């Protein structure tokens, strides 16, 4: 009940405002025609302004609301604006002629059209001109408001789509990492069960970190390196002195994509031979605005098939977050990936 009452009050206030506006316009027109004599004939101007002005305003407004609900401004906006203006001109002309004649015959009690146009020509022309200008302004403002709302709506949907895509990319990392970690654990169980238990404890700490970072798009290099140290520790348990990973980074206050360093090290370990005869070395260092991950290429005898999903995922995530692209360089002897440094997260 209160909702209906409040709505009626809003409608009433809106009508009063419109009534004030059209009468100000009417008396303005009267002042242009007659000067200060408009105040001597205020009743007539009040009648003209109220009857004609309100009919024009409410009719055009109703059409505008109907038009907005039926069509989108983003499709052929100029054509729609042209249709609105043409309708306003035709409707305004029809209303003014009908209303002027109604006042002429039934209010002023004239019995014929003699002197009708002579008596009303100036007020008709000025009122019509002002009405056209007001309607043009009214529809132009409506056009730009509707266009702005539609564009903002599209931008919002686009942003939501990008966020969803980014979350999907981010979620692809966890299953891949889990699969490789379980393979490592299986290998350790066969060799040393106590070592496997230590591995599980370290692995649980790592997954706790991964869950904490799941909702973050970027992470400080300092924290990423701490996480990488834990991962390196687990891999050293498996490969021993056959694996060497050197990290030389001094600027740790900027950011990278979470798990990016770990994923690149994991890929290097996956695709290269690591043994007593073929010790493996990975170097991680900084180069201007990039973190560089470099390793020699020493393919396994039984090459592990690669679909490049990890690098593709990482490249896509950087496209969402930065204008700087991830750089991949590959020669016969070495493989290099350059990760752009990102601004520090808020």
| Domain that residue 93 falls in | 2-163
**Do 156 and 177 belong to one domain?**
no
- Tell me whether residue 231 is in a domain: yes
In a domain, 213, yes or no: yes
Do the domain assignments include residue 208? yes
Q: ∠ at Cα 147 (143, 150), nearest 5°?
A: 140
Residues 188 and 297 in one domain: yes
Count the domains in the chain: 2
Same domain, 159 and 282: no
Query: Where is the domain boundary, 137, 163, 189?
Result: 163
Contact between 222 and 253 under an 8 Å Cβ cutoff? The reply is yes
Are residues 176 and 139 both part of a single domain? no
Contacts of residues 319-325 at CB distance under 8 Å and 24 or more positions apart, as own/partner, are: 320/162, 320/165, 320/166, 320/169, 320/217, 321/217, 321/218, 321/257, 324/289
Please tell me whether residues 183 and 247 are part of one structural domain: yes
Tokens of 106: 């039934």
Of the two residues 57 and 213, the one the predictor is more confident about is 57
Radius of gyration of the chain (CA): 38
The number of angstroms, rounded, from the C-alpha of 100 to the middle of its chain's C-alpha atoms is: 51
Encoded tokens for 40:
């001597």
Q: DSSP characters for 240-274?
A: GGGEEEEEE----SSEE-TTHHHHHHHHHHHHB--
CA 117/CA 328 separation, integer angstroms: 82
345 occurs within a structural domain? no
Q: What is the CATH number of the domain that holds 233?
A: 3.30.565
* 6 and 143 co-located in one domain: yes
Q: What mean pLDDT is predicted for residues 221-236?
A: 87
**Nearest-CA neighbor of 318 among 290, 285, 287, 288?**
290
- The string of pLDDT tens digits covering residues 67-101 is 777 776 666 777 777 887 788 788 888 887 887 77
pLDDT tens digits, 154-171: 777 566 555 645 555 555
- Same domain membership, residue 288 and residue 331: yes
State the pLDDT confidence band at 122, using cuts at 50, 70 and 90: low
Q: What percent of the chain has pLDDT over 90?
A: 13
Same-domain check for residues 144 and 196: no
- pLDDT score, position 1: 60
**Of 146, 163, 180, which marks where a domain is finished?**
163
* 188 lies in some domain: yes
- Residue 30 is assigned to a structural domain of this protein: yes
Q: Is the dihedral of CA 169, 172, 177, 180 positive or negative?
A: negative
Q: Are residues 177 and 326 in the same domain?
A: yes
Regarding whether 203 and 144 lie in a shared domain, the answer is: no
**Is position 64 within any domain?**
yes
- Shared domain for 112 and 197, answered yes or no, is no
Residues 104 and 196 both lie in one domain: no
Interior CA angle at 339 toward 317 and 268, to 5°? 95
Of 102, 137, 163, the residue that ends a domain is 163
**346 domain residue, yes or no:** no
Residues 280-310: pLDDT tens digits?
A: 999 999 998 999 999 999 988 776 556 556 7
Does the global pTM surpass 0.85? no
pLDDT tens digits for range 169-225:
555 555 656 676 777 788 778 777 887 888 888 788 777 777 776 667 788 999 999
Nearest C-alpha neighbor of 140 from the set 94, 96, 80: 80
> In the predicted model, is pLDDT for residue 6 greater than 70?
yes
């Amino acid at each position: 009940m209160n909702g209906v009452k409040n709505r009626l009050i809003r409608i009433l206030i809106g009508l009063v405002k419109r009534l004030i506006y059209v009468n100000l316009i009417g008396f303005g027109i009267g002042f242009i025609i007659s000067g200060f004599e408009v105040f001597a004939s205020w009743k007539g101007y009040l009648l003209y302004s109220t009857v004609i002005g309100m009919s024009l305003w409410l009719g055009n407004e109703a059409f505008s609301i109907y038009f907005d609900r039926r069509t989108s401004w983003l499709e052929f906006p100029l054509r729609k604006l042209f249709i609105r203006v043409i309708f306003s001109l035709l409707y305004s002309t029809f209303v003014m002629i009908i209303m002027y004649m109604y006042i002429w015959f039934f209010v002023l009690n004239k019995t014929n059209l003699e002197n009708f146009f002579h008596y009303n020509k100036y007020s008709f022309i000025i009122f019509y001109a002002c009405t056209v200008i007001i309607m043009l302004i009214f529809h132009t403002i409506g056009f730009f408001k509707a266009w702005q709302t539609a564009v903002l709506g599209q931008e919002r949907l686009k942003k939501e789509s990008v966020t969803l895509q980014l979350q999907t990319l981010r979620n692809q990392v966890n299953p891949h990492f889990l699969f490789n970690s379980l393979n490592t654990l299986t290998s350790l169980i066969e060799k040393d069960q106590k070592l496997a238990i230590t591995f599980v404890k370290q692995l649980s700490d790592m997954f706790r970190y991964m869950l904490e970072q799941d909702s973050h798009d970027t992470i400080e290099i300092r924290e990423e390196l701490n996480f990488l140290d834990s991962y390196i520790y687990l891999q050293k348990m498996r490969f021993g002195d056959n694996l060497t990973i050197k990290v030389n980074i001094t600027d740790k206050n900027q950011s990278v994509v979470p798990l990016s360093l770990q994923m690149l090290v994991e890929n290097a370990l996956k695709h290269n031979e690591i043994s007593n005869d073929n010790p493996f070395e990975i170097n991680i260092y900084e180069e201007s605005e990039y973190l560089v991950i470099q390793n020699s290429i020493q393919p396994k005898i039984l090459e592990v098939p690669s679909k490049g999903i990890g690098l593709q995922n990482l490249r896509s995530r950087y496209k969402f977050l930065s204008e700087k692209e991830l750089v991949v360089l590959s020669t016969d002897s070495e493989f290099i990936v350059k990760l752009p440094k990102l601004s520090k997260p808020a």
